[in-house]
Every structure is written in structure tokens, then in C-alpha cells.
Structure 1
Amino acid sequence: MVIKEVIVVEGKDDTFNVKRAVNADTIETNGSAVNESTLTQIKHAQDKRGVIIFTDPDYPGERIRHIVSQAVPGCKHAFLPKREALAKLNKGVGVEHATPEAIQEALAHVYSMSETYESDITQEDLIIFGLVGGSDAKRKREQLGEKLKIGYTNGKQLYKRLIMFQITREEFIVAMEDIGQEEEE
């Protein structure tokens, strides 16, 4: 699998693992303290080839994703489910721990963000499907993020993420019905 865009990752171990899975170039942020030089490099890559942000499914990874997205508009996003990024013996979570197949799957489902998309999904839908406010809401959001390949988010950010990645109400309902059927089995 060849990726034409430059993939933004957190560190050299991520680069090594991504290159085991796909033929791609990477830029490393070297952690969550993304400096101006790195952002300039990412802007240049975005202008020339496009950029895919592919950070760890944890708080620092989301922070880096946010910093880069704000500084470099128009980046695409790939998300790795947390369960696919766990190290053996639960010693960390990250792209560097994922299998080549999990990386290929994540990079095969890349999203572009939209600030202007008008969704027909409502906040009430999130409540009805138990994604906010309930005792099981976090698990359901994790399942939804994995099913839609938009990553995990907390209850406050879920609605924004659904809009940013232009998830239609139909896609949302189908995903929630699938989750419900899986729970029944």
C-alpha cells in the first residue's frame, strides 16, 4: 500500500512501524511539544503532497492532533482504535505497538475535517442512543468511534467530531444499530 500524503506521527518508533505496514513518508512531532520548525515542515508537506495526522489514541496524541490541525488547515486524519494500539503486558498505547494490518486498516479510512458541514444528527440522538450521560456511555462511544473510524472522544466532543468528519445521520444510526446487535449476540 502506497500513501502519497506525508503521515504525521509522534516519534521514530511510530515511523518505523508505519513503514513496516505501508510505503509512506513521515514527519515526527517528537512528542506533544510540537515546535515551530516541525509545524513549518508539516505546512510545506501539506502544500506539496497533503498530510495525514496519525497519532496515538490517547490524550497526548489527541493534543498533538489538535495542535497540528489548528496550525495546518486541511489535514486528513486517520484513527487507530485503542485496542489495536496496546503494547504487550499493557505497557503503553501507541501507533508503535499496532500490527501492520491495523495500520493499513486505519490508513484506508482517512477523514477530512469540515467546519461548515451541517449535520442532521442531534444532541438528542446522542442521549437516545446512550452515548452521553449513562453509565455505559464511554464504552458505547469507544465502539462508535471504532465502527465509524473517527477515534474515541468524550461526551462533550463527540457531537463536534461527528460534524467535523461529516458523518450522516444514516451512517450514525446504522453504526449504532450494529453496536446494538453485537451486544445482543
Structure 2
Amino acid sequence: MKKTIKEVIVVEGRDDISAVKAAVDAEIIQTNGFAIRKKGNIEKLRVAYENKGIIVLTDPDFVGEELRKYISKFFPNVKQAYISRKEGSKDGDVGVENANPEAIIKALENAKCEVVQNTEAIFTMDILMEHNLSGSLESKDLREKLGTELRIGYSNTKQMLSKLNRYGITMEQFLTAIGKIEKAKN
């Protein structure tokens, strides 16, 4: 059984997400390289940083190092996980996506990640449906507004459920955000 990591892991690309998910159970934010500089992306990281903490796991190359520096400017106590160039190399390509699960686990352990026991989720699909975040014509719009209000970004239903539980969003924060959205409609 894979270890569940408390912190949110920050990676560069989609293939990096697959590699990390093969190694551990964790919430992952993809920067899309320097697209992290776009408005709102740092706010998503801020929510994760404040609620759970973040671990940066970028490629062992120049761009990866520049991204680490950029993120560290905003979050000085961010944890840093490193894979070596050798661990991340495959057919001339260097990146987290090439690392095996053992190398990723070792990098996260060296970053002093916090392993947590799987706890029962606060948020369920029933709660999302009860608040029309799933299964109604307005669900997509409501999830977008909720993501904006909670500063966790837009998500499909499955991703929203995961973010709510993994980012440490409380039921009080959730209900307050839903209340603001409802009030704005009227």
C-alpha cells in the first residue's frame, strides 16, 4: 500500500503527476513550467501551503531550479525534494517523469514529508450533490465559483472532492463559501 503524504506536491508537468502518483498517494499541483506566474496559480499554492504545506519536486535541470527559486520567493519554508539527474534520466531526457517510484519516495523522505494515516474524508459525493456541485445543470459553474472563493481553482467533481479533503478545507470554510455564492446569486 502506498504511503499517503500530508503535504501537496508541486511538479512541473502532467507526466510528473503520473510518476508521483505511482509512488505515493498525495495531492499534486502542476505548474506547467513558468505558467505558475499566471494570475491565480500562486494563490492555489498559497492555499495548499497554508493548509497542508507544499513540497517542490521539479526536474533536475535549469528550468526546475528556476521554478524552485521562484516558488521559494513566495513560500520561504517550502520543503524541497530532489531527484538526481541520473535518477531522472531516460533516453537523453531528464525529468521527474523518468524517475522510478523508489527514487521519488526517497526524495520525499529526504524532504521530511509527513506521512499520514488514511483518515475518513470530511467531504463526500453526497455533500457535493446536496449543494448542487455535482449532478445539476449549474454544477460546473458552482464548482468554478467555489474554487475561486476557496482559492483552490476550478475542478471537475472528482478533483473538487479530492481538493476539499486534501487541502484541509474545513466544513465551516466550505459552508461559508457556499453561503457567499448563494448570496451573490440573489
Separation in structure 1 between the aligned mates of residue 88 and residue 57 of structure 2, nearest angstrom:
12
Separation in structure 1 between the aligned mates of residue 21 and residue 69 of structure 2, nearest angstrom:
24
The one-letter code of the counterpart of 2:49 is Q
Give 2:83's aligned residue: 80
Separation in structure 2 between the aligned mates of residue 58 and residue 29 of structure 1, nearest angstrom:
15
Q: Deviations over 1:67-115 (max 9, x none)?
A: 111022321110101100002x21x100000001110111110069xxx
How do residues 1-185 of structure 1 correspond to structure 2 at under 5 angstroms? 1-34=3-36, 35-87=38-90, 89-90=91-92, 92-110=93-111
Separation in structure 2 between the aligned mates of residue 58 and residue 108 of structure 1, nearest angstrom:
21
Q: Deviations over 1:31-73 (max 9, x none)?
A: 1232232111001100000000110000000011011110223
TM-score, structure 1 as length reference: 0.57
Give 2:180's aligned residue: none
SS of the residue corresponding to residue 17 of structure 1 reads helix
Separation in structure 1 between the aligned mates of residue 19 and residue 13 of structure 2, nearest angstrom:
10
Percent identical among aligned pairs is 43
Separation in structure 2 between the aligned mates of residue 79 and residue 36 of structure 1, nearest angstrom:
27
The one-letter code of the counterpart of 1:107 is L
Separation in structure 2 between the aligned mates of residue 71 and residue 42 of structure 1, nearest angstrom:
9
Give 2:181's aligned residue: none
Number of aligned positions between the proteins: 110
CA contact (8 A) 1:18 1:103 kept: yes
SS of the residue corresponding to residue 8 of structure 1 reads strand
TM-score, structure 2 as length reference: 0.57
CA contact (8 A) 1:32 1:61 kept: no
The one-letter code of the counterpart of 1:95 is V
SS of the residue corresponding to residue 76 of structure 2 reads coil
Separation in structure 1 between the aligned mates of residue 110 and residue 39 of structure 2, nearest angstrom:
29
Q: Deviations over 1:1-48 (max 9, x none)?
A: 211000000011101110000011110100123223211100110000
